[in-house]
Amino acid sequence: MAFDAGMLACTLAEIRSVALGARVERVFQPSKDEIILQTRSVLGGKRLLINAGSSSPRIGFTETPRENPSSPPMLCMLLRKHLQGAKLAEVLQAGFERVAILVFESRDEMGFPTVRKLYCEIMGKYSNLVFTDGNDKILSVLTPVDFSTSSRRQVLPGMTYELPPAQEKTDPLTVDADRFAALLAAASPDDRADKWILSTFLGVSAAVAREVVFRASGKVDVPLRACDPVVLSARFLSVIDDIRTSRWSPCLVSDGSKPIEYAFLPLTQYTGYTLRSFDSAGALLDAFFGSRDREQAIRQHASDILHILTSADARIRKKLSLQRAELADCDKGAACKKQADMITANLHLLSRGQSRAELTDYEDVRPDGTFGTCPVELDPRLTPAANAQRLYKKYNKSKTARVELSRQIALGEAELAYLDTVFDSLTHAETSADLSEIREELFRSGYASRMKHYVAPRKQSAPAVAEFRTSGGYRVLCGKNNVQNEYITHRLAGKNDYWFHIKNLPGSHAVLITSGTEPSPRDFTDAAEIAAFFSKGSDGQNVEVDYTLVRNVRKPAGTKPGFVIYHTNWSCIVSPDPEKIARMRLTKGPF
């Protein structure tokens, strides 16, 4: 999964071929660790993303739109000052290190030619972005490094930029067969082959090291003694030769729709998984990091919502557990009534002061015609009649408690079902507006009373729902939260349009706009796949989706947002395809 030196060389080769000589039109900083350079050349506009965060550092072109903050950070404003209008003159890699150097040519305030450089250090948790002038004097840095952070290397404005300290490893681009054989001869035969490649050669990720060993031996976890030295050398040098000659085959490994691994070469070691090749490194990185970036953005922007939802969910589940235990105790009420009946039937045999009695059970008739007996615990302070009344009161109380507890449990289960729909809405949220709608929904539903500094907006704008186009040209509107669900179902949809929802699971409302015509079966399938994809069953196969005319859907008074009932529906089985749904979508999300 690491963005290694080979993957960096692959992305830089793509940047050279597409954007070398391009002008920087705009600069954005969607998040603390991300910079986007909007470039334009004779080949058109391209968005170059530089991520220097610890979780997913990388550099490459992206087609995934991102939402920008209302006010740009200081680094973004500085880059706009120096880079907007500048020409990308050079794209370099520092040896076989994970350091990219973007060199820009521009003019200063006086009109004189000037050079600016961006050093992109893609090094895991040590990733950084350093902006310098033509003499490598640091003008700004994304993450300053002072003496308290590192005693070996400081990166601060005003200092001269220096590359990260060199590792005591061999540059694979300088290795030939003889050099590889010499290094291999000095290694212990008991060392794992992939670990030896990792510790010996510079800029090689674990996945690429395992791939070399797999191509040489058919396995990934073998010691050096199990590998043929000649074959291992040939496989390693073949990979390195691909890097030298820029023969790239970007590959993504996925488990269904979940990305697992990526690299600049085919990863044949993954059997039983889906291997997909890409024409460009940028498309590969978008496919791997797209959903991950969106989930990370949701976690960052929706931490308050998640806290409220998880707290409410835990509170309701604990309450339901106690109520179900109390409901089980209500079964003892029948035994109290039976004991009270026996005391009443045997009053003539009892007297005050008894604590226990063996009474005749007239409901227990034995085969010989006699009656059974049953022990009864008595309060010696009460008369027998008072004991019977005490037990009758317990029975009546249990009857009332059973009715009320059953009602409360049903309300709690409905509340949990509603929270599940909000949790599902968070997985589909794409913009800060989507999150604001969820906050507003929780506030109006009474869950957000503890949300800090939350002020309900005075005027609500129309929700921005997702819009799709089916293969037959019909529009499909889909809500990403309960506010949007109600908006499209009760405000936008016509009575003769078709409404879709996954069966018995939290999910979005989808409406197929018919405009008075009858869609084809293919259009119905497309709309059902959209409803299945924007639901809790999005990763499943053969998902059941209900659909009906909008006029059959109604919202009961007093119910939670997004809750509807319907009748006279049909059902269909579909398997949502994320790529197909992405092609049908007309509106794009910024995360």
SS3 504: coil
Residues 51 and 176 in one domain: no
In a domain, 323, yes or no: no
Find the length of the chain. 591
251 within 8 A of 275, measured Cβ to Cβ: yes
Class of residue 167 by CB neighbours under 10 A (exposed 0-12, middle 13-18, buried 19+): exposed
Q: Cα 151 vs. chain centroid, distance in angstroms?
A: 37
Cβ neighbours for 153, distance < 8 A, ≥ 6 positions apart: 145, 162, 164, 165
Note the pLDDT of residue 453: 52
Note the pLDDT of residue 454: 55
**Which segments of the chain have a pLDDT < 70?**
1, 448-460, 587-591
In a domain, 18, yes or no: yes
In a domain, 454, yes or no: no
Residues 487 and 566 in one domain: yes
DSSP 189-240: TTSBHHHHHHHHBTT--HHHHHHHHHHHHS-SS-BGGGS-HHHHHHHHHHHH
Residues 192 and 100 in one domain: no
Residues 114 and 241 in one domain: no
Q: State the angle between helix axes of 206-217 and 193-200 in degrees (0 to 180), rounded to the nearest 10.
A: 130
- State which of 298, 319, 343 marks the end of a domain: 298
Residues 221 and 111 in one domain: no
Give the pairing type, strands 510-513 and 498-502. antiparallel
Note the pLDDT of residue 591: 41
Q: How many CB atoms neighbour CB 3 within 10 A?
A: 24
Tokens 């791939």 sit on residue: 211
- Closest to 524 in 3D by CA, of 508, 544, 547, 501: 547
Question: What distance in Å separates the CA atoms of residue 50 and residue 120, rounded to the nearest whole number?
Answer: 7
Considering only CA atoms, give the Rg of the chain: 34
Q: Which domain holds residue 498?
A: 466-584
Strands (E) in 484-585, as ranges, are 498-502, 510-513, 543-549, 553-554, 565-566, 570-574
Cβ neighbours for 328, distance < 8 A, ≥ 6 positions apart: none
500 within 8 A of 512, measured Cβ to Cβ: yes
Angle among Cα 291, 25, 128 to the nearest 5 degrees reads 55
Phi/psi of residue 291, each to 5°?
-70, -35
Domain count, the chain: 3
The identity of residue 413, as a single letter, is E
Note the pLDDT of residue 460: 62
In a domain, 216, yes or no: yes
In a domain, 89, yes or no: yes
Residues 108 and 201 in one domain: no
Question: What distance in Å separates the CA atoms of residue 240 and residue 244, rounded to the nearest whole number?
Answer: 6
Residues 137 and 9 in one domain: yes
* Residue 143: C-alpha distances to residues 32, 120, 130, 239, 336 (Å): 10, 12, 8, 34, 72
Largest CA distance in the chain: 119
Residues 79 and 177 in one domain: no
Residues 23 and 130 in one domain: yes
Residues 287 and 199 in one domain: yes
In a domain, 416, yes or no: no
- State which of 298, 331, 349 marks the end of a domain: 298
- State which of 253, 283, 298 marks the end of a domain: 298
Residues 117 and 37 in one domain: yes
Q: What is the pTM of this model?
A: 0.70
- Helix residue ranges per DSSP H, 453-533: 482-487, 521-533
Exposure on the CB side of residue 290, measured as CA atoms within 13 A: 23
pLDDT digits (tens, 9 = 90+) for 298-343: 777 788 888 888 889 999 999 999 988 888 887 777 778 887 888 8
- Closest to 379 in 3D by CA, of 395, 350, 357, 355: 355
In a domain, 109, yes or no: yes
Residues 133 and 212 in one domain: no
Question: What distance in Å separates the CA atoms of residue 258 and residue 133, rounded to the nearest whole number?
Answer: 42
Angle among Cα 249, 250, 252 to the nearest 5 degrees reads 130
65 within 8 A of 53, measured Cβ to Cβ: no
In a domain, 268, yes or no: yes
Q: How many CB atoms neighbour CB 386 within 10 A?
A: 14
